[in-house]
Structure 1
Amino acid sequence: MTDYPPLPATAPAVVAHGKDDLRIEEVALTPTRPDQAVIDIAYGGICGSDLHYWLHGAAGESILKDPMVLGHEVVGTVVRAAADGTGPDVGTSVAVHPATPAPGAAKYPLDRPNLSPGCTYLGSAARHPHTDGAFLRYANLPTRMLRPLPETLPLRRAALVEPASVAWHAVSRAGDVRGKTVLVVGCGPIGTLAVAVLKRAGAAHITAVDMHENPLQIAAAVGADVLLQAPDAATIAAVEADVVIESSGNHFGLASAINGAVRGGRVVMVGLLPSGEQPIAISLAITRELELLGSFRFNDEIDEVIDALADGTLSVDAVVTHEYALKDGLEAFDTARNSALSGKVLLNFRA
């Protein structure tokens, strides 16, 4: 067992105070509950929701009312085990499943806790008081969130476990993709990770679509066969994909997804569109008898993702394009907002 020095009273963190007000500042470390371990965070990936809290003071309907520590895509090492004896030992490297379902809050399929209406997520303003995230050097996390990592899986690569689980869940919603033609609309981190998952799952032919060249090159590196940059409607329609993964998160992308699906095809919507009405030509989905499926976060797929990253069958390294020390966190967020330039941007909390 590794010996670690006593924990400090404060630790540096990434805190959103409101719209356009993001700070790297010291926060007080709170006492741990008996079911919590203290994690020395190594890496954190900047997610679209983190960007929304910074740029808009809200992520969808989740409105920032108080300062909140951001971050849910984190990995690190246990430096203080839980007092109740649960969870991994000191020195164990871990990934984090950031959800806390709320059983009994309302009716939902019990085998799909991601649909629990009362579910909370690290770094989310969906509830008040807000649920602080884990973009801080030392995070107190419930042991039920922790997933021990194999020694063969480097922490830097493991930083993609959470977003890769989102992509894995989306692909699983599509069913068996072996031998099928697939269209991925939107090649941000979730889209490119979906390409990697599709490749591993045996998709026969993957077409990737994006507005920018750099994301498409990342998609090619992880398995896309054809790249379409800002294609017109006729080019999209000619794809005739058996399965479409819509990960752009805007109505133009969803329109392309519907247009690019073969008659009787399946469209998985993982990109989160803004709330409210969307101008979509849904009649095409009706006359083609398309199946439109939502995909939201993930459940136990995280365990399969860890195994696939550890054994090398899920190739994702190209998705990470930038790494910044925590002290340069504001620059990291500015890079992450530029989807034409960056893929997944990581914060290194130990640099």
Structure 2
Amino acid sequence: MRAVVIHAPKDLRIDAFPDSPPGASEVRVKIEAGGICGSDLHYYHHGGFGTVRIREPMALGHEIAGVIAAVGSGVPHLLPGMRVAVNPSQPCGVCVHCREGLRNQCLDMRFMGSAMRMPHVQGGFREHVTVDAAQAIPIADQLSLGEAAMAEPLAVCLHAGKQAGPLLGKRVLVTGCGPIGALMVVVARYGGAAEIVVTDIADAPLVVARRLGASRTVNSATEASRLEPYRAGKGVFDILFEASGNQAALRAALDLMRPGGMIVQLGLGGEMTLPVNTIVTKELQLRGTFRFDPEFELALRLMGEGRIDVKPLITASLPFLSAVEAFELASDRSKSMKVQLTF
């Protein structure tokens, strides 16, 4: 079996990879589609992010979907030939946070394509993966495998929407319009937001945001003055989804928030210095959001029922043997939103 394996920054190879049959409670999935995520790009360009670094070769990828090739003897509900999305999260189920219902905060989480643990948890950019049967979620007949591979980032955004509270009738600001920011537009629109304004420093992703239903887009590098009306009074936005991970973007957005507004921080960057006085005097609420749990199956259901359409985000699909080309394309925000590998 072959896999897309990172060895060091800019050292991405197609390697032979061990292939194991499923155990009693496992299934083997022939991968068909895999989306390149921002974390995959961090491993590709920098060898990791923050304190997380590659210490051994690791297959990348955690946005994956495919067809069940074999099932273990103790798996009665799945059959070979079923099309599934693979949930990359495998919480332990027994730690204090899992028992409290906070499985996304698991103390012993195994997340595919992550170098947080040693040995690393190998990712899903492989021709076949063997996973726990609970991680393989059947998809609707009308859903393509490329769309199904979008379940993971959509789940991240559905969880962020849950952190924000009710969106119906709210004025929403999204800062940063990569795939996560773009999907926040989709979630905010689905949640009934009255107005969705999106900012970014590049024009191409803003075009996608408009296609997805943004009320207005603003290039904050070249047309920041267009945001001035939103400073009226003490600011007008009820909810901010900060998806850039950039301190300057977050600080600038605080002036546009109305008193009592909710800030949901999705983007991960370096450590930030915040204007605490502004947060205190405007009584702003700041919440983090991390991964997902039941939202993965919700994402598949919403897509499968045609209530959420992610197809406009998938801008290119390349064979996994062209992984380096695909990663370079995914790194160019002027040309791509979500690049997927096909297997």
Partner of residue 232, structure 1: 224
CA 1:305/1:107 → structure 2, altered by over 3 Å: closer, same or farther?
closer
**Is the deviation greater in 310-319 or in 23-32?**
23-32
**Residues 1:110 and 2:100 are matched in the alignment:** yes
Q: Give structure 1 regions of 4+ aligned residues with deviation exceeding 6 angstroms.
A: none
Partner of residue 252, structure 1: 248
Aligned partners of 1:105 and 1:118 also within 8 Å: yes
Partner of residue 333, structure 2: 339
Q: CA deviation at 1:67?
A: 0.2
Partner of residue 6, structure 1: none
> 2:156 aligned to 147, 157, 166, which one?
166
Structure 2-normalised TM-score? 0.93
State the one-letter code of the partner of 2:224. D
**Residues 1:270 and 2:286 are matched in the alignment:** no
Aligned length: 337
For 1:1-351, what aligned pairs fall within 5 Å after superposition? 11-105=1-95, 110-230=100-220, 231-232=223-224, 235=228, 237=231, 240-274=236-270, 277-349=271-343
Structure 2 CA distance for aligned equivalents of residues 64 and 237 of structure 1: 44
Runs of 5+ consecutive residues of structure 2 not aligned to the other structure: none
Q: CA deviation at 1:257?
A: 3.2
CA RMSD of aligned residues (A): 1.7
State the one-letter code of the partner of 1:329. A
**Is the deviation greater in 152-161 or in 189-198?**
152-161
Structure 2 CA distance for aligned equivalents of residues 58 and 155 of structure 1: 28
Structure 2 CA distance for aligned equivalents of residues 305 and 265 of structure 1: 26
Structure 2 CA distance for aligned equivalents of residues 254 and 103 of structure 1: 35
Structure 1 CA distance for aligned equivalents of residues 46 and 186 of structure 2: 31
Q: CA deviation at 1:100?
A: 1.6
Q: CA deviation at 1:237?
A: 3.6
State the one-letter code of the partner of 1:257. A
Structure 1 CA distance for aligned equivalents of residues 218 and 162 of structure 2: 24
CA deviations on 1:45-86 (whole Å, 9 max, x unpaired) are 000111111111113322110000111000001010123225
Structure 1-normalised TM-score? 0.91
CA 1:96/1:237 → structure 2, altered by over 3 Å: closer, same or farther?
farther
**Is the deviation greater in 39-48 or in 230-239?**
230-239
CA deviations on 1:179-220 (whole Å, 9 max, x unpaired) are 110000010001101101111111111001111111001111
Structure 1 CA distance for aligned equivalents of residues 249 and 315 of structure 2: 23
Q: CA deviation at 1:107?
A: 5.2
Q: CA deviation at 1:155?
A: 1.2
State the one-letter code of the partner of 2:301. D
Q: CA deviation at 1:36?
A: 1.6
**Is the deviation greater in 181-190 or in 317-326?**
317-326
Identity %: 34
Aligned partners of 1:245 and 1:257 also within 8 Å: no
CA 1:262/1:108 → structure 2, altered by over 3 Å: closer, same or farther?
farther
Q: CA deviation at 1:105?
A: 4.3
